[in-house]
Amino acid sequence: MDEEVENKVILHGSFASPYSKRIELALRLKSIPYQFVQEDLQNKSQTLLRYNPVHKKIPVLVHNGKPISESLFIIEYIDETLRHGPHILPQDPYRRSKVRFWANYIQLHLYDVVIKVVKSEGEEQEKALTEVKEKLSVIEKEGLKEIFSDTDGEPTVTNETMSLVDIVMCTLLSPYKAHEEVLGLKIIDPEIVPGVYGWINAINETRVVKDLSPPYEQILEILRAFRQMSLSPVLETYQS
């Protein structure tokens, strides 16, 4: 196997998928060239089904012809195997455990309820929004001091320091301004969660996030379509 084939990296994903964006951020942080294969979530390719026969979901990373699935596992694989650029997980075991904990917290406790806010209305939406704000308050009070222990809880994010938890938060609430415009709701209040507000804006100012983010109007169109067509139950089935 020649070097070019041996080191080839292919990402099967979807342009609008936050889970795919996680992997693209990780690859770009490490300056790893990759081929992106756009998957139709309503008509999944045989290649995707062959690479991920258990869950049949995106994203799937293929490296050296070997598939890896589940976005958080893929990022750890990239960090451990493709050793270019900065570390996405801290080398110190204690700090690494904290980054993993809060990335998992956001995934388990915040992702679904934010999606519910986008796809619901009335009392159901109000209840979901209250839960989002409660979870953000937990991150504000308990998470930031552990995630940013090196800077006394002050959120500082650059291309060189972006970690797993930054990537997970980015792919959920980086476009919070578009969420707020489409929904007519305040999701992140800088007076209530100033640390979280500063964290997300620091993420949005990084070069890698700016380069990967679509134009604002396009984000609005995606969110409006997502809300109007109630696609989240379908999309959620095919992403991880």
Domains in the chain, CATH or no CATH each? 9-81 (3.40.30.10), 93-229 (1.20.1050.10)
Report pLDDT for 153. Answer: 77
Q: Provide the 8-state DSSP code for 37.
A: E
Is 3 a residue whose pLDDT tops 60?
Answer: no
Report pLDDT for 82. Answer: 86
Average pLDDT of the segment spanning 134-151? 95
Burial class (CB in 10 A: 0-12, 13-18, 19+), 236: middle
- pLDDT tens digits for range 111-123: 999 999 999 989 9
Average pLDDT of the segment spanning 190-211? 97
Average pLDDT of the segment spanning 135-163? 93
- pLDDT tens digits for range 214-239: 999 999 999 999 888 754 455 445 56
How does DSSP assign 111-171, residue by residue? HHHHHHHHH--HHHHHHHHHHHHHHHHHIIIIIHHHHTGGGTT-----TTT--HHHHHHHH
pTM of the entire structure?
A: 0.92
- pLDDT tens digits for range 86-97: 999 999 999 999
CB 195, CB 145: distance < 8 Å: no
Q: Provide the 8-state DSSP code for 15.
A: T
